[in-house]
Amino acid sequence: MQSPIADPPPLQPGTLRVVPVGGLGEIGRNMTVFEYEGKLLVVDCGVLFPEEHQPGVDLILPDFSIVRDRLQDIVGIVLTHGHEDHIGAVPYLLKLREDIPLIGSALTLALVEAKLKEHRIKPYTLDVTEGDIEDLGPFECEFVAVNHSIPDALAVAITTPAGTVLHTGDFKMDQLPLDNRLTDLRAFARLGEEGVDLFLVDSTNADVPGFTTPERDIGPVLEAVIARAPRRVVVASFSSHVHRVQQVLDAAHANGRRVALLGRSMVRNMTIAEDLGYLKVPAGVLVDFKKAGDIPDNKIVYMSTGSQGEPMAVLSRMVNLEHQIEVGEGDTVILASSLIPGNENAVYRIINGLTKLGANVVHKGNAKVHVSGHAAAGELLYCYNILKPKNVLPVHGEYRHLVANQKLAIETGVPEENTIIAEDGTVIDLRDGVAKVVGQYDLGFVYVDGSSVGEITDADLKDRRILGEEGFISIIVVVEAQTGRIVVGPEIHAKGFAEDDRVFDAVKPKISAALAEAAENGVRDSHALQQVVRRTVGRWVNSSLRRRPMIVPMVIEA
Amino acid sequence: MQSPIADPPPLQPGTLRVVPVGGLGEIGRNMTVFEYEGKLLVVDCGVLFPEEHQPGVDLILPDFSIVRDRLQDIVGIVLTHGHEDHIGAVPYLLKLREDIPLIGSALTLALVEAKLKEHRIKPYTLDVTEGDIEDLGPFECEFVAVNHSIPDALAVAITTPAGTVLHTGDFKMDQLPLDNRLTDLRAFARLGEEGVDLFLVDSTNADVPGFTTPERDIGPVLEAVIARAPRRVVVASFSSHVHRVQQVLDAAHANGRRVALLGRSMVRNMTIAEDLGYLKVPAGVLVDFKKAGDIPDNKIVYMSTGSQGEPMAVLSRMVNLEHQIEVGEGDTVILASSLIPGNENAVYRIINGLTKLGANVVHKGNAKVHVSGHAAAGELLYCYNILKPKNVLPVHGEYRHLVANQKLAIETGVPEENTIIAEDGTVIDLRDGVAKVVGQYDLGFVYVDGSSVGEITDADLKDRRILGEEGFISIIVVVEAQTGRIVVGPEIHAKGFAEDDRVFDAVKPKISAALAEAAENGVRDSHALQQVVRRTVGRWVNSSLRRRPMIVPMVIEA
């Protein structure tokens, strides 16, 4: 669907409006806004990590423009779980209004509070657990346990007089979860019996056939690798993956090894998880990193971050010999993580670098050391069949994932006309069991770069791409205001273009000649003179060098 | 191995010297130089495609420095097959000496000649086929059939009084190849019996367990997808993959469809392949693209390039609606190709774009429409066991691939001390069955950018990365030479930094103040004044905006 941009009609009484603000057409910055009789409920508020065509950007936020003028109408932000793509943008929304209540499970709230502390925000929170029902303004919210790659994830069923909406958040249906907390299909069945009018469902793995392997299958592999390891073991994974860390602790313990946590976020998250009882640390297993050096090499496991090749994380610093731990011959490094698209070359550089240092690198390409946190196609079929939703809105995914999920819904009997392929900003109204697209807001990307939010535009990124591909040539000429006569220059400076500035000797006379001609023709305006310089240099560089650098002419009147 | 840079000792009589110049530590720009009694033999001369940390680079060449002063000693360039990473740098070497003979199979030579024609070079060639033995100076070369993802690939056994070296080129061991031309394991067995002193062996898939699926298995999948396709079919693959195109032609023919070739390189290569008898076109199947529009949608297949998401290739242009063929609802697009690391996001953009246009996209993630061209671990084990080489030098691969290949050699009984993990520029001497590393040349990357070769340096690329991530701020101040007094400025121009120039109002007085203070202290040198500006702006931008753009100060004396 390629929707024309069209503001929706005013919301009618008795109608629920649903606007996915982020997470459709992308994996990340998940956020959905629900509106009923003047009140807004937000579900999730995450960040998106930039791709290579968004250079230099730190984070991408959802576009808050549709709630910015209605902050007082927001009754709360429900957070389905504690991953960055669901909670990472909360500080930026709370900066607009600090007292919006946050609703989530204990772990989710602890993680978001730790994050908010860095932004010096102390939020109002409401701690909920599976089975709880809370009235948030006109929205009756029932929370349902779901299983994901972080503990304590919740789906939320939102009921208003307009009908019931079930939003899964991120989930999978591991039938043997490590913490025995299943995705609650009994609750899904009950909700289905009562009638789910609109089903917002995670699409991340909808194009993956079959079923996600249980997390539990990784334990024995980790244990076997650690048992065989002759020296130190480093395991890298996501810093919020409590169950993965649990399995590493257990495997280390079974092998008589101790574990030191590395990386600020790993230490912080696992401290929270242990305090709240989600991480069960076998007695005496954890050791402070500073004391780990005293432990023999074959008795230690380091649990670290950096499995995506992030340049500042522990693993990259080890490869660059910038970390206290010097990986060497006989060490074993396990990348117990997925390979997020776009990170491949960075991760392969890590693997090559560790191999060069003499380490044995174990990763999902050569051992079963990772499983996904999202439901694959086979699981989604179960889900649709148990729930039998009236209408389906696939969320959390690029276009291809949304369409794959839609096909699954249709295969289980949902009429095609009751499935909605939407984009960020699509406005869907629900009333009497009918869900309809009624408009499309024009929402953009909000870039965080350094301490700036939303100041970097797509035009700046286009400039960066040109600069990054081709470099620039700047030409400075000082001219006499009255006559246009050149007083100083042309001076030429280039960066990222060529090492040897002598290449420009050929074009300097051309610039002088072009400016002289323009002056003779009475051109005095410095903007017009700059265009003359740009054209002259552009033509020369294209024809003689077949390159297209950014050309920055500066004609200054003195 | 991390070798210190050390020039090798002079080459002794009766000793063969082997220097891998490219292809070790990388996938691409394969080139090996053999030296015996003053003469040089080159095997392959390919290009490497840049990664994201080499922005704006078109191609990367092997570093020719070790042959540059010895061009007259080169007796020939043996080309194992016609892929870009094996022949792409030939024009650049021939520009140094045009009459170096090229030795290869008919298809390989035809492809390199077509390429050289664009550079206006007509090479001297020697056409060889499997079983041929040619004396190239002191090197007796025997050519052996190998199977790869392009027809007519050859391994080469090079014999001198110092011993026999077998170089596989790229290969796999498909036991049911489409053209029935097997990798000649009988010849490998015979060479092994006679004694292979050094084995240079393709490592690309050495870390992939098991065996590469036969190419033939793809045919039925293509046929089934085409049979079910309700409207047009577009198949994208590599433009040199003759057997893949053959299978598309056959599958189209079996379904009563005609085929139009799209893309300059596809048309050129397939014309060559058909002329030479490698592509067998079923009568009446091919149709000119210009006439394809008259054929009903369910009777046409387009065979195109662009399967890696290359922005200028057919498939990207279709997605951007810049191609005559407008992909729409009900069309089927098959990506019959691998996903080269680093291209993931570009390819997923293509898949999302095509899905959005309504097409059904079939790719290796959801159907068996691609197999690799390289031997996996299981095949390499066969190879080692049949050949029983004395010494092994894994080639063609990143470090992790070379080490994986070395491990396979050791597992089959090659003593570890007889395996060599080398880098580009490592010098290996072979004599009396003993292969030894004797030195390490410092070889670099040679970047082609536009019409420039080797002018862009790593420092330029570093500048580009900074510019691409952060943009730049340039500050122009014109000062009076005698007094240091500011005459014009500070004027500030920025690109890729922020949309609104008013952000700089805060720093302008700081610059003026810093320059005034420097002038008061007698600083007149414009370079020193530029440093003052750089420091002032740098400090301001870091502390107030937490950014690190390139700062380009220009203090001009008037």
A158 within 8 A of A140, measured Cβ to Cβ: yes
Q: Torsions phi, psi of A76, nearest 5?
A: 170, 165
pLDDT tens, position by position, B8-37: 999 999 999 999 999 999 999 999 999 999
Question: Tell me, what DSSP letter sits at residue A508?
Answer: H
Look at residue A2 in the predicted model and tell me its pLDDT.
43
Q: Quick one: residue A496, left, alpha or beta (phi over 0 = left, psi -120 to 50 = alpha)?
A: left
Q: What pLDDT score does A4 carry?
A: 57
Which residue's entry shows tokens 């286009």? Answer: A462
pLDDT at A413 over 90: yes
Q: For residues B331 and B233, is the Cβ–Cβ distance under 8 A?
A: yes
b/e B159-195 (16+ beta carbons within 10 angstroms → b): bbebbbbbbbbbbbbbeebbeeeebbbebbeebbeee
Task: Kindly name the residue from A374, A401, A424, A429 that is annotated as catalytic.
Answer: A374
Neighbouring C-alpha atoms within 13 Å toward the C-beta of B439: 15
Residue A484 pLDDT exceeds 80:
no
DSSP label at A215?
G
Active-site residue, A374 included: yes
Cα A9 to Cα A366: distance, rounded to the nearest angstrom: 55
Task: Please give the mean pLDDT across all residues of chain B.
Answer: 93
Residue B2 has pLDDT above 60, yes or no: no
First to last CA, chain A: 57
Structure tokens at B541: 């931008």
pLDDT, mean over chain A? 93
Kindly report whether the global pTM for this prediction surpasses the value 0.90: no
Distance of alpha carbon B167 from alpha carbon A57, whole angstroms? 46
Show residues of chain B in contact with A456, CB under 8 Å.
498-499
Of the listed B63, B202, B250, B429, which one is catalytic? B202
Lowest mean pLDDT among A37-41, B339-343, B441-445: B339-343
Q: Are B153 and B81 in contact (CB under 8 A)?
A: yes
**For residue A471, what is the nearest residue in chain B, using CA coordinates?**
B464
Confidence band, pLDDT 50/70/90 cuts, at residue B505: confident
Amino acid, single-letter form, for residue A62:
P
Element (H, E) at B495: strand B486-495
Task: Indicate yes or no: CB of A499 within 8 angstroms of CB of B459.
Answer: yes
Provide, as residue numbers in chain B, all residues whose Cβ is less than 8 Å from the Cβ of A554: 474, 476, 491, 493
Q: What is the distance of C-alpha B69 from the center of its chain?
A: 26
Q: What is the pLDDT of residue B328?
A: 92
Mean pLDDT of A110-122: 95
pLDDT of residue B3: 52
Whole-number pLDDT of residue B4:
57
- Inter-CA distances, B156 with A50, B105, B374, B428, Å: 46, 11, 17, 18
pLDDT in tens, A131-156: 999 999 999 999 999 999 999 999 99
How big is chain B, counted in residues?
558
- Measured between beta carbons, the chain B residues lying within 8 angstroms of A489 are 556
Q: B51, B343, B403, B556: best mutation site toward chain A, by most A Cβ within 10 Å?
A: B556
Pairing of strands B434-440, B426-431: antiparallel
The verdict on a CB contact (< 8 Å) between B472 and A472 is yes
Bridge partner list, B477: B555
Strand blocks (E) in A325-413: 332-335, 360-363, 391-395
Residues facing B200 on adjacent strands: B167, B393
* Token pair listed for A19: 């606007």
Q: Which residue has the tokens 């393709």?
A: B202
How big is the A-B interface in CB pairs under 8 Å? 193
The lowest-confidence range among A369-378, A397-406, B443-452 is: B443-452
- pLDDT, tens digit, for every residue of B408-417? 999 999 999 9
pLDDT given for residue B451 in this prediction: 83
> B-chain residues within 8 Å CB-CB of A368?
none
Q: Tell me how close the Cα of B113 comes to any Cα of chain A, in angstroms.
A: 24
- The torsion defined by the Cα of B527, B528, B532 and B533, in degrees rounded to 10, comes to -10
Q: Which two tokens stand for residue A156?
A: 């939320």
Q: B114-131 burial, b if ≥16 CB within 10 A, otherwise e?
A: ebbeeeeeebebeebebe
Q: Please tell me which of the candidates B25, B493, B495 has its beta carbon nearest to residue A554.
A: B493
Q: Is B505 a catalytic residue?
A: no
Across the range A470-485, mean pLDDT stands at 84
CB atoms under 10 Å from CB of B299, counted, come to: 14
**pLDDT at residue number B173:** 95
Which among A459, A545, A556 has CB closest to B491?
A: A556
- Region A65-76: mean pLDDT is 96
Share of chain A above pLDDT 90, in %: 73
Burial class (CB in 10 A: 0-12, 13-18, 19+), A63: buried
Q: Which of B250, B374, B424, B429 is catalytic?
A: B374
Please give the single-letter amino acid code of residue B494.
A
What local confidence, expressed as pLDDT, does residue B482 receive?
79
Contact predicate A295/A258, CB 8 Å: yes
Q: DSSP string spanning A155-192?
A: EEEEEETTEEEEE--S-B--SS-TT-----HHHHHHHH
Strand order in the sheet with B391-395: B133-136, B139-146, B153-160, B163-167, B198-202, B391-395
Residue stretches of the annotated binding site of A for substrate: 239-241, 370-374
Distance from CA of A144 to the nearest CA of B (A): 32
Mean pLDDT of A480-492: 81
Segment among A294-303, A396-405, B449-458 with least mean pLDDT: B449-458
**What domains lie within chain A, and their CATH numbers?**
16-210+373-445 (3.60.15.10), 215-363 (3.40.50.10710), 458-557 (3.10.20.580)
Quote the ipTM score.
0.85
Residue A3: per-residue pLDDT: 52
Rounded (10°) CA dihedral A182, A187, A191, A194? 160
Q: Which residue is catalytic, options A174, A202, A331, A429?
A: A202
Structure tokens at B239: 């433009």
CA R_g for chain A: 28
In angstroms, the Cα distances linking A355 to A233, A319, B393, B403, B427 are 14, 9, 17, 8, 22
pLDDT of A1 higher than 50: no
Q: For residues A514 and A438, is the Cβ–Cβ distance under 8 A?
A: no
Of the listed ranges A36-45, A548-557, B138-147, the least confidently predicted one is A548-557
Q: Which amino acid is at B138?
A: P
Parallel, antiparallel or unpaired: strands A139-146 and A133-136:
antiparallel
Whether residue A56 and residue B355 make contact (CB cut-off 8 A), yes or no, is: no
Question: Contact B386/B219 with Cβ under 8 angstroms?
Answer: no
- Closest-CA distance of chain B to residue A260, Å: 27
Of B334, B303, B149, nearest in space to B225 by CA: B334
The rounded percent of chain B whose pLDDT value lies above 90 is 73
Closest CA of chain B from A276, distance in Å? 35
CB-based contact A346:A309 (threshold 8 Å)? yes
pLDDT band at B151 (very low <50, low <70, confident <90, very high): very high
Asked if residues A350 and A320 have their Cβ atoms less than 8 Å apart, the reply is: no
Nearest to A499 among B365, B455, B556 (CB): B455
CA distance B174 to B145: 12
Q: Residue B499 pLDDT more than 80?
A: no
Average pLDDT over residues A341-369: 90
- B500 has pLDDT over 80: no
User: Residue B1 — very low, low, confident or very high, per pLDDT cuts 50/70/90?
Assistant: very low
3-class secondary structure, A299 = helix
Residue A471 and residue B459: Cβ atoms within 8 Å?
Answer: no
pLDDT > 90? residue A556: no
Q: What mean pLDDT comes out for the span A248-258? A: 97
For A499, which DSSP code? Answer: S
* C-beta of residue B92 within 8 angstroms of C-beta of residue B453: yes
Average pLDDT over residues A299-306: 94
Write the burial class of residue A99 (CB in 10 Å: 0-12 exposed, 13-18 middle, 19+ buried): exposed
Distance from A462 to chain B by nearest Cα, in Å? 7
Edge-to-edge strand list for the sheet holding A446-449: A59-61, A446-449, A452-453
Closest Cβ opposite residue B342 in set A345, A472, A503: A345
